[in-house]
Amino acid sequence: MTIDTLPEKPRTRTKLGDYAGVLLSGFAMGSADVVPGVSGGTIAFILGIYEELIGSIRMVGQPVFWRALLRGEWRAAMRLVNALFLVVLGAGIVGAIFLLAPGIEWMLINQPVLIWSFFFGLVLASIVIVSTRIRRWSASRFIALFLGTAVAYWVVGLVPVQTPDTWWFLMLSGAIAICAMILPGISGSFIMVLLGKYHFFINAINERDFASLAFAAVGAAIGLVTFAQVLSWLFRRYHDITVATLAGFMIGSLREIWPWKETLESVVDPVGEIVPLVDRNILPALMVNGAFNAEIPLSAGAALLGIILVIGIERIAQMRTRAAEPPTDQPAAA
């Protein structure tokens, strides 16, 4: 399904299992969005719902939707924005963030190498799959791939800054981060780290600080609808170049997801968390205390698990897509 056809012919879902799949897709996206360096947009892309998601969000900002809404044509308005799809997907995302934030934060603190290895494998496999969505490779596609890689590599190397906790900056943070969240390869959580707000919002989630979360949500809603207009236009006009750029974003993001790092400088954020300010990627030590470093095969296994998971998700997405396609007419036997 493409963005062009979505408003007129949204994907038909009639079975409970169809929406259970959407809910699980949202849960997978939310799980990724919690981790700095991993994008929920990447998960949406490999699940095959990315363009449907962008097209649905885009319609919220279209005059035809608001005209239908103001006329009281609720069913037509909800059909235009693929409302049930968005609500179920959003429920999965929000549910994952609230349920998994404490556990993933614990993993990032206590088992960082293993969880980063898992996501490194996941993103690595995703790059290959996303690249296959490019219909025809050409010089312009390769240039877009290179530029996307360079931009993401530069962004993930930026140093986090100290920022205020005022309502307007919480809204701004939400708007900027949500734009990153829907871009494969650019992590919304990492943008929160750069803005000095990652641990603030993780703490707000764990402490149920709904006031701070509400400001961020308003900013996110505005940013999401606005940015979806740009993305949908790019997909319609420059599909392959856009996909190549997104694949480049994912390649560049591998710099941030590399499991082994050395912290060169850290800082204590406003909520008392020690946050790495400057770090660099390093190779793992082969030997530890005179024995082979057992962390290496464990990390390789975690990365392999991420690769297998992506391949499995891609296969399932392909099967569901084929099952949703109308049967083609068979020629009559002679």
Residue 301 — very low, low, confident or very high, per pLDDT cuts 50/70/90? Answer: very high
Q: Is the pLDDT of residue 3 over 60?
A: no
> Percentage of the chain with pLDDT > 90?
16
Mean pLDDT (whole number) for 99-127: 84
The predicted pLDDT at position 89 comes to 93
pLDDT band at 241 (very low <50, low <70, confident <90, very high): very high
pLDDT tier, 325 (very low <50, low <70, confident <90, very high otherwise):
low
Q: What tokens does 45 get?
A: 């892309």
Q: How many angstroms separate the CA atoms of 42 and 180, rounded?
A: 11
- Output the pLDDT for position 45: 80
Helix, strand, coil shares, percent, the chain, to 5: 65, 5, 25
pLDDT digits (tens, 9 = 90+) for 67-95: 998 888 888 889 888 989 999 999 999 89
The Cα–Cα gap between 174 and 190 comes to 12
Q: Is residue 1 pLDDT above 60, yes or no?
A: no
Query: Phi and psi at residue 145, in whole multiples of 5°?
Result: -60, -45
Q: Any idea where the domains of the chain sit in the sequence? A: 16-324
Which of the two residues, 199 and 312, has the higher pLDDT score?
312
pLDDT higher at 101 or 6: 101
Other Cβ atoms less than 10 A from the Cβ of 326: the count is 6
pLDDT in tens, 6-63: 343 445 555 666 788 889 889 988 887 777 667 788 788 878 788 888 888 888 888 8
Return the pLDDT at 129.
Answer: 84
Instruction: List the structure tokens of 166.
Output: 């005022």
Give the residue, 294 or 163, on which the prediction is more confident.
294
E strand or H helix at 178: helix 167-181
Give per-residue pLDDT as tens, 201-226.
878 887 888 888 999 999 999 998 88
